[in-house]
Amino acid sequence: MPIIKAAELGEDLEDQPVPEGQYDLRVARATYKLSEGKGIPMNVLTFVIEGEPGAAPFMHWVLFPKEDDVRDVTRQRLRDIKRFFTVFGIPLDDYDPENDFEQLMGATGNCRVSVETGDDNVERNRLRLPRV
C-alpha cells in the first residue's frame, strides 16, 4: 500500500489555467447532450493542453442548429462548427452530433486559448477559434 507523506499534502496539487496564448490541444473527452431548457443539441468537449504539465483541462461546447432557429443563430452556429472542425482536422461531411461524437476523441489542433473568470470567481481557459 502506498504511503502518503503529510508534507506532500501541503503542496499545491491543483492544476491551473495556462496564460493566454497559442497551444497544442487534444480532445480528451467528447459527449453529446441537449441543453437544459431549450434542448439545443451539442457536443461537450474536454481539452488537455499538450506539453504543459499542471495545465488544467478545460471545456468547450459545440452547439448545433435546430430546425426552428432563426437565420442569424443558425449562421453563427454553423460558422463556429466550421471553425472547430477545421482547426482540429475533423471531416464535417454528414457529421451527426448525437452519433458521431466519438470521432472527436483524440483530435488535435493548435489554437488560441484565453483566460476567463467565471461567476464563481474561478479562472478557466477558453478556446478561441480563428476565422477560417
Domain ranges of the chain: 25-128
**What's residue 7's pLDDT?**
62
- Mean pLDDT score of the chain, rounded to an integer? 92
**What's residue 1's pLDDT?**
64
Q: Is 79 in a helix, a strand, or coil?
A: helix
- Other CB atoms within 10 A of residue 17 CB: 20
Q: What's the average model confidence in pLDDT over 5-21? A: 80
**What's residue 3's pLDDT?**
74
> Exposed e or buried b for every residue in 81-91, given b needs 16+ CB within 10 A?
bebbbebbeee
Q: What is the pLDDT of residues 72-120, one digit of tens each?
A: 999 999 999 999 999 999 988 889 999 999 999 999 999 999 999 999 9
Q: What's the average model confidence in pLDDT over 9-29? A: 90
At residue 6, does pLDDT exceed 90? no
For 120, phi and psi rounded to 5 degrees? Answer: -90, 10
Q: What is the pLDDT of residues 37-64, one digit of tens each?
A: 999 999 999 999 999 999 999 999 999 9
